[in-house]
């Protein structure tokens, strides 16, 4: 079975993914794939540099993510242009990896951690969607802590995404990650068992 794991920024996707992997799930991580498609030599990196300028590249030709982030997180249209370059490349590689995991582990659970699953309308690629949920104010709080970022910046990054309440409504399963890690762990285990997994 292939499921999509999503939520909002800092809503606990990586945490839930790690707990699922501990139980035996096979993880395909869209953030990891997203980093790999912009490695030097990849066509997506050339497209990004041609749109946003050579200034987003470091001297060694690698992507300066901070510089690019500084541009696109100030400008919604620029962010959309960046996404139009990256998302097809990421999606294709994700599909390839999921197929490979599925073939190797036909009775296993293949989990794709896809932060922008709903925003990029990928629901149909999965047999079900699991949302890791915390309320929006808590996303901003945990983001501030994790990135040592100011309150305003954290709130703006949360607001750039689809409202997490909306994602929760469309989910097939929800893990409420607003409590302790142990509470999250027991919900993940309950989900695992509900799917008849060993
Ligand atoms: P995402 O992958 O959705 O961005 P993370 O799993 O990285 O979210 O969680 C965001 C931040 O909140 C991380 O710093 C993580 O350590 C912390 N965190 C996650 N779950 C909990 C929890 N249940 N209680 C307290 N902190 C948590």
One domain, residues 115 and 185: yes
**Is the C-alpha dihedral spanning 144, 157, 27, 34 positive or negative?**
negative
In the three-class reduction of DSSP (H, G, I as helix; E, B as strand; rest coil), residue 144 is classed as helix
Nearest ligand 1 atom to the CA of 8 is 3
One domain, residues 119 and 177: yes
Which long-range contacts link 76-79 to residues 24+ away (Cβ below 8 Å)?
76/160, 78/52, 79/160
Please indicate whether residue 10, judged by its CB atom, sits closer than 6 Å to ligand 1. Answer: yes
Identify the CATH number of the domain in which residue 162 sits.
3.40.50.300
Residue nearest atom 5 of ligand 1, based on CA coordinates? 12
One domain, residues 177 and 120: yes
Instruction: Give the pTM.
Output: 0.88
One domain, residues 55 and 113: no
Which tokens sit at 183?
């509470």
Buried b (16+ CB within 10 A) or exposed e, 19-54: bbeeeebbbbbbeebbeebbeeeeebbebbbeebee
Print the domain residue range for 113.
Answer: 1-25+109-192
Mind listing the pLDDT tens digit of every residue in the chain (198 residues)? 999 999 999 999 999 999 999 999 999 999 999 999 999 999 999 999 999 999 999 999 999 999 999 999 889 999 999 999 998 999 999 999 999 999 999 999 999 999 989 998 999 999 999 999 999 999 999 999 999 999 999 999 999 999 999 999 999 999 999 999 999 999 999 999 999 998
In a domain, 55, yes or no: yes
In a domain, 103, yes or no: no
Please indicate whether residue 87, judged by its CB atom, sits closer than 6 Å to ligand 1. Answer: no
């Amino acid at each position: 079975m292939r499921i999509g794991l999503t939520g909002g920024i800092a809503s606990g996707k990586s945490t839930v993914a790690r707990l699922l992997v501990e139980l035996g799930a096979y993880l395909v991580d869209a953030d990891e794939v997203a980093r790999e498609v912009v490695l030097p030599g990849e066509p997506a990196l050339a497209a990004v540099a041609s749109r946003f300028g050579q200034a987003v590249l470091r001297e060694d030709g690698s992507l300066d993510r901070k510089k690019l982030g500084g541009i696109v997180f100030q400008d919604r249209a620029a962010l959309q242009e960046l996404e139009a370059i990256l998302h097809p490349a990421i999606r294709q590689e994700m599909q390839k990896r999921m197929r490979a995991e599925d073939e190797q582990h036909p009775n296993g659970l293949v989990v794709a951690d896809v932060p922008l699953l709903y925003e990029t309308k990928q629901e149909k690629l999965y047999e079900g969607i699991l949302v890791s949920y915390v309320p929006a104010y808590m996303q901003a709080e945990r983001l501030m802590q994790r990135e040592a970022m100011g309150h305003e910046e954290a709130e703006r990054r949360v607001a750039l995404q689809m409202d997490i309440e909306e994602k929760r409504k469309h989910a097939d399963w929800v893990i409420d990650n607003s409590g302790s890690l142990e509470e999250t762990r027991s919900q993940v285990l309950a989900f695992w068992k509900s799917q008849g997994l060993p």
